[in-house]
Amino acid sequence: MKLAKNLYNAWVSNHGWLLSGAGLIVTTVACTVWYLDLVPQLIMSAPAKQAVVSQAIQSQNGILVAQILASAEQKGAKGRIQVYVPSEDQNAPPAYQERFVLDERGMASLLLVVPAREYSMIAFIDANDNGVIDFEDNRATEDFRMPKSVTVDGVVANPAGGLTNLPPQTPCLCLFDFAVQPIAP
């Protein structure tokens, strides 16, 4: 009984009746607005000959699908594909690169979405996983390949001068074949 009396006194001293009445009024108004659908609708309008939204169309991206083929003995080997923007600087870093691991068949596939333009590409087996092709006496000590073939819209072509043109929004399949040995210099 004493607990009930203390609760009642706390409720009265904290303006319980006033707060309950205000809550009841707010709830009644909100329910009435909702029930009668009195929420105003905001409509943005513009003169008929004026654009509401205007923006420049950005250049479309190119879709590079790289397929790496190797022998089954190379399964689990790690490698990288590097994509370069043609440049006068021979020491320029790759514009894009992606790692791959050869599956149990000695194959890997990669998808790169890059701005549509002309690129040169190289794939290599990165034996020490340092991200670069290692050289000794000006000879590469890690196996690398340029694209063997490039297919765009079903048309197969050999990359001219090592450059591949990635068209906008059209997948470009580049085949890097490690299964055949490179021609010795």
Do the strands 135-136 and 118-125 form a parallel or antiparallel pair, or are they unpaired? unpaired
179 vs 180, more confident: 179
In the chain, pLDDT over 90 holds for what percent of residues? 16
Mean pLDDT over each residue of the chain, to the nearest integer: 82
Q: What are phi and psi of 84, to 5 degrees?
A: -115, 145
Q: What radius of gyration, in Å, describes the C-alpha atoms of the chain? A: 33
- The domain limits of the chain are 2-35, 61-177
Interval 23-80: pLDDT, tens: 889 899 888 888 887 777 666 665 555 555 555 556 688 888 999 999 888 899 999 9
- Give the tokens for residue 89: 């600087």
The residue behind tokens 């440049």 is 87
Second-level CATH architecture of 61-177:
Sandwich (2.60)
- pTM across the whole model: 0.62
Residue type, 152: V
Neighbours of 149 (CB within 10 A): 14
Asked if 73 contacts 106 with a C-beta cutoff of 8 angstroms, the reply is: yes
- Name which of 57-61, 90-94, 151-155 the model is least confident about: 57-61
Q: Is 141 helix (H, G, I), strand (E, B) or coil?
A: coil
Tell how far CA 15 is from the center of its chain: 58
Q: Is the model's pLDDT at 185 over the cut of 50? A: no
Q: What is the pLDDT of residue 50?
A: 54
